Chains A and B, each alone.
Chain A
Amino acid sequence: MLEHIELFFKSIFIDNMVFAVFLGMCSYLAVSKKVSTAVGLGAAVIFVLAVTVPLNWLLDQYLLRDGALVWLGPEYADYNLSFLSFILFIATIATMVQLVEIVVEKFSPSLYNSLGIFLPLIAVNCAILGGSLFMQSRDIQSLGLAFNYGVSSGIGWFLAILAIAAIREKIRYSNVPAPLRGLGITFIITGLMGIGFQSFGGMLTGGDDAAPVEDEQRMDYDKVSEIKKENLDKEDIDEKEISYNDAINE
């Protein structure tokens, strides 16, 4: 139970799709001019992520990963089909989106009217494929957790687009320098929001003393450590530790 809660908050705030890893930026920038359309697209993203991440988890577990085919018999234990994951994941996503569109159109025309136009857009939204690829690279342990991961990263994306749409509606009344209007200022606001979201980073590690070194999946920490490592004298381990932590605290 605890790991569910942890994953839930981690995917919404710390590893937020938009602010931490920049996924789904194209539709985030293109469809965030009005709050109402942003809500529609956000809901569709949550929905599609909740369906495709568990499905791709099953594919990964029983078809793609190293030794996944062992259920066919012991002679298949050596097979590793993980190089096929891109093509299978994207095929699953494209098919599921099409399927969801047909089902929703049939059973709930009102939902279709509000969601429908966004569904085809979503097949090529990086947040959806990114969800599945991160699910694979983070080694999510169970189907329940995969579902949780899908829903919560969807909610994170939803929050992000809702916030930027609200800001963009208001910023129309401000005096933005002409060359920055529209796209430019949206980029800068998103950057500032991303910096704000960075402060959630300490939420689950318990503050400064818990070193986030174990957390290998955080791209930015990895990069900080790699870059810092190059800068430092290899023998001077103590100093490396200190300045690594400094880099994190910055």
Chain B
Amino acid sequence: MALLTKKDAKLISDPLADNNPITIQVLGICSALAITAELKASIVMSVAVIFVLGVGNVVISLMRNIIPSKIRIIVQLIVVATLVIVVDQVLKAFAYELSKTLSVFIGLIITNCIIMGRFEAFALGNGPWRSFLDGIGNALGYGVILIIVGFFRELLGSGTLLGYKVLGDPIAKTGLYATGYENNGFMIIPPAALIVVGIIIWVQRSRNKALIEDH
């Protein structure tokens, strides 16, 4: 690949696994978990964060030499808020139902710690292209976890994926339900998301012993 040097590719691949923003850096959990009861909402949320973080990182990186360090937090907040307003208005215009489901959580992308964290840690000290890659990489790492959680919660909680009944019809007792399978209502309630993420962390750290924390 001529487009990406090895170092650049690492910027994208690192956050996907060993430096994942959610399971390792513990950032951006705030707005992530509440919307993962359905796969569709998780995907839309991931796309929104990829857009905001990718563009935001480039903007901050371009302005990095003219932002006075004392007011950088406010400058960063204004940049994110502007991008989030764009996302919010687009969603309201083209996917109104979905924007109702996501309600305030689109707005909460502003205070998503991943975004401020990447601005502070990367975009303020690196050029636009590398910042862009870093933004996309971290947002993808966030999206991957969101989609995994959304997949399991929707599949086990309501037997559907993206609204399609993949396990059969629970009322007519077709498909898997004919064998006596029942939907697990527990997966739909919010705390289940935490437990699913807990299990993801467990699996990830069992596979990579270097990540284990001591107490």
Question: Could you tell me which A residues sit within 8 Å of B by CB distance?
Answer: 19-26, 29-30, 83-87, 90-91, 94-95, 120, 123-126, 128-130, 133-134, 137, 172, 177-185, 187-188, 190-195, 198, 219-220, 222-224, 226-228, 230-233, 236, 239, 246-247, 250
Contacts and interface: CB of A to CB of B under 8 A. Distances in A.
A113 B56 CA distance: 34
B67 interface: no
A180 B191 contact: no
B178 interface: no
20 contacts: A20-B190, A21-B34, A26-B29, A83-B89, A90-B81, A124-B73, A126-B108, A129-B110, A129-B111, A130-B30, A130-B108, A133-B107, A179-B206, A180-B201, A184-B198, A191-B192, A193-B191, A227-B157, A227-B158, A231-B158
A91 B77 contact: yes
Interface string B31-73: 1111001100000000000000000000000000000000001
B81 A87 contact: yes
B157 A226 contact: no
Nearest to B74: A94
Contacts of A120: 73
A106 B131 CA distance: 39
B201 A184 contact: yes
B66 to A, nearest CB: 19
Given A26-B30, A86-B81, A190-B194, 15 more contacts: A26-B27, A123-B73, A133-B104, A178-B205, A180-B205, A181-B213, A183-B213, A184-B205, A188-B194, A190-B191, A191-B191, A222-B101, A226-B101, A227-B157, A230-B160
Contacts of B138: none
User: By CB atoms of chain A within 10 A, which of B32, B190, B205 has the most?
Assistant: B190
Interface in B71-95: 73-74, 77-78, 81-82, 84-85, 88-89
Interface in B174-215: 185-186, 188-195, 197-199, 201-206, 211-215
B109 to A, nearest CB: 9
User: By CB atoms of chain A within 10 A, which of B81, B101, B189 has the most?
Assistant: B189
Contacts of A83: 85, 88-89
Contact of A182 (B74, B111, B191, B215): B215
Contacts of A130: 30, 104, 108, 111
A233 to B, nearest CB: 6
A178 B185 contact: no
Contacts of B191: 19, 190-195, 198
A49 B163 CA distance: 38
A29 B194 contact: no
B170 interface: yes
A171 B214 CA distance: 12
B212 A183 contact: no
